[in-house]
Amino acid sequence: MKKIIITTLLSVSLLAVTACNNDTANSGNINSGPEPVQPVFKNVSVHDPSIILADNKYYVFGSHLASAKSDDLMSWTQLSSGVVDGNVLIPNVKEELKEALTWGKTDTLWAPDVIQLADGKYYMYYNACKGDSPLSALGIAVSDQIEGPYKNKGIFLKSGMVGVGDDGETYDATQKPNVVDPDVFFDKEGRLWMVYGSYSGGIFIMELDTSTGFPLPDQGYGKKLLGANHARIEAPYMLYSPETDYYYLFLSYGGLAADGGYNIRVARSKTPDGPFEDSEGQDMIDSQGTAGVLFDDPAYAPYGVKLMGNFEFLNNDDELPVSGEGYVSPGHNSAFYDEETGKYYLIFHTRFPNRGEKHEVRVHQMFMNADGWPVVAPHRYGGETIDKYTKEQIAGEYKYVNHNKEITADIVQSELIQLTKSGKIKGAVKGKWKLIDDHTAELTIGGSTYKGVFLKEWNEATASNVMTFTAVSNEGISIWGSHVSPSE
């Protein structure tokens, strides 16, 4: 009954289009393979999207009681939005969740999570928070159907109180959790867990009863995994990979607004309750703020493998005269692994360059690199499947992005590099590259080795299929490349 262990064949709606081929060595076009195809995308706004597969459809549930569904992870339909009476998920939400809203002194709900338990019912872990303090309540609502209606079963955690907290100790916001952002998951042994937390005292995990969904007794707030002293770390999400036998803990660092520098990171452990480490072997329990300093980003920016931050692929003069492709403050992701297809997916919300606070759901394919770390495809998922490639297909001019390790509102803009047939990297950065086996990538730049994959995928900004690469270094820095694609 795991949330995403049930698998399905993707139903992909594709529309054929024509593109020009150019067989020159450094054109950036792919010299063989099928005609480019254009995925059909339909966008929705669900902040903090948490994914579940149910009834052969993909559902995302997010903040403000928003939800959407899709058959193929590309074309989405909005189902609900707004903590208002009449919302299809909880039609009488103001009364149904009155206790939580009153405790949190708020009129809205934050990032929920939905999971199906052994009784076949769907359990929504909702949470209400004041926002400018950790005054929060977290509870469960249950429904027979994935699309609701959900009925409240009660609150089981509170935070932000003056005096004694839910663990029997004096509540200290610098060390105790803000009880929001839950992710509930089964481990490989069938035990049920909830990882949660945002800013305040850090990210915590506790074990739940597989029958009721409520916590097992005598855990208090559970076990701390990382964070403290109001570190800007939130949105934990756990993914187990049977391929690597690791539990991957995804996190969002920074602030969620367009100027907040939100970015997605990951750490891993052999057990669901840690300890978690990053690619440098650093214990994530040390990823925390500085006592007496609010939001001391430089203190924890060195921790975790950074998968994605602000970036923009700039179209050059040889490409279509349209704006490029990029994200601002991508974050609060969920993820899943499809056992039938072997594909990994990263699902998140993001804002965009020059578009203010408008946000939409995006899905990117992920892969495990040679060292067992996730790498994220540079372009949104368009139905692609990784294949066998040649050095001739890969060689060419690329738009290159280095995501670095900073927490910053700055947008990394792409620079031009070339991957030569002889294995050299020229242009904005210099080094060497090689193709290992069918699609495994290894690039050496500035003394660091980046491991990942080459992947042919659809680029919306150029309306063409392009070769890409995605790779991560031992320092936990991700780099992306997207082939320059001549216009028709």
Q: How confident is residue 487, by pLDDT bands cut at 50, 70 and 90?
A: low
What is residue 21's predicted lDDT score, i.e. its pLDDT? 31
What is residue 486's predicted lDDT score, i.e. its pLDDT? 65
Q: What is the pLDDT of residues 191-221, one digit of tens each?
A: 999 999 999 999 999 999 999 999 999 999 9
Q: How confident is residue 5, by pLDDT bands cut at 50, 70 and 90?
A: very low
Average pLDDT, the chain: 92
Task: Assess whether 415 carries a catalytic annotation.
Answer: no
Q: What is the pLDDT of residues 140-177, one digit of tens each?
A: 999 999 999 999 999 999 999 999 999 999 999 999 99
**DSSP three-state, residue 278:** coil
Cα 308 to Cα 48: distance, rounded to the nearest angstrom = 16
Task: Assess whether 312 carries a catalytic annotation.
Answer: no
Partners of residue 202 on adjacent β-strands: none
Is-above-0.85 flag for pTM?
yes
What is residue 89's predicted lDDT score, i.e. its pLDDT? 98
What φ, ψ does residue 367 adopt, rounded to 5°? -140, 155
Tokens of 459: 């680029």
Tokens of 309: 């931050």
Cα 197 to Cα 232: distance, rounded to the nearest angstrom = 11
Whether the bond into 374 is cis, omega within 30 of 0:
no
Least confident of 41-55, 185-199, 308-322, 374-388: 308-322
Name all contacts of 55-61 with Cβ < 8 Å and 24+ positions apart. 55/146, 56/8, 59/114, 59/146, 59/147, 60/334, 60/347, 60/361, 61/89, 61/112, 61/113, 61/114, 61/124
Of 48, 360, 384, 406, the active-site residue reads: 48
Of 96, 181, 183, 234, the active-site residue reads: 234
pLDDT at 7 over 80: no
What is residue 355's predicted lDDT score, i.e. its pLDDT? 95
Q: What is the pLDDT of residues 281-303, one digit of tens each?
A: 999 999 999 999 999 999 999 99
Tokens of 335: 């993820």
Helices (H), 368-447: 391-394
What is residue 303's predicted lDDT score, i.e. its pLDDT? 98
Cα 166 to Cα 156: distance, rounded to the nearest angstrom = 9
What is residue 27's predicted lDDT score, i.e. its pLDDT? 34
Does residue 142 contact residue 124 with C-beta atoms inside 8 Å? yes
307: CB partners within 8 A, 6+ apart = 263, 264, 265, 266, 346, 374, 375, 376, 403, 472, 478
Pairing, β 14-16 against β 203-208: unpaired
Whether the bond into 272 is cis, omega within 30 of 0:
no
